[in-house]
Amino acid sequence: FTGSDETLLEVRDLDKPGSFRNVSFALRKGEVLGITGLLGSGRTSLAKALFGLVEPDSGTITVSGKTVPLGDPIAAAEARIGYVPEDRLTEGLFLTQSIMRNVAVGRLNAHEQRGFLDLRSLVAEADDWLTRLKVKTPSIMAPVQSLSGGNQQRVALARWLARAPQVLILNGPSVGVDVGSKADIHDIIQELGAQGIGVIVISDDLPELLA
């Protein structure tokens, strides 16, 4: 799915022998870019490299013309790159913590007042995102592990969308979710593109990427 001609993310000659070799591509504003490969092809290593969780041996990553240091997830987040991992249970969520905390964890500084957290503001923002993404939950304070797989994935999405990313990397966004949630996630991806966010979808499901 192609958006405007404005380049958000540019990757040049990204290389990590044994994982991926000489990867180059550009992601435009509002574009949905699909990357696929078999298990062990390096697709997840590439996704993590784009977010700084894996350090390539060489190459460059730029966002809106500014170079992002390799192997530095904090710098990637500051450059407004978001990453929703494939394994949400071990990498994407704090399972025993509340749904609200899982959404709000990336935005705590925005709700600080005189050294304290404004809990009312935190809850209101988290609740707004949960409503937008149609997360079905009995209580925003319930542990996130109490949700279905599809709703857990939406919580992981909400965390990053609350940070207003320019680029959002979705690694296996519909893994372990039901058919209805899968369709909803596809609709969300299309909506993100329409809003001007550059989206990278990484999946071994080629029909899903084509759709």
Q: Each residue of 81-124: pLDDT tens digit?
A: 999 998 887 788 999 999 999 999 888 888 888 888 888 988 99
Pairing of the two strands 81-84 and 112-113: unpaired
pLDDT at 2: 55
Distance of CA 67 to the CA centre of its chain: 20
Q: Which of 59, 54, 106, 101 is nearest to 80 (CA)?
A: 106
Tokens, residue 87: 């394994």
pLDDT at 42 over 80: yes
Distance of CA 194 to the CA centre of its chain: 16
pLDDT at 122: 87
When pLDDT is averaged across residues 77-81 and rounded to a whole number, the result is: 96
pLDDT at 3 over 70: no
Kindly report the average pLDDT of the chain as a whole number: 91
Query: Which one-letter DSSP state was computed for residue 111?
Result: G
pLDDT at 180: 84
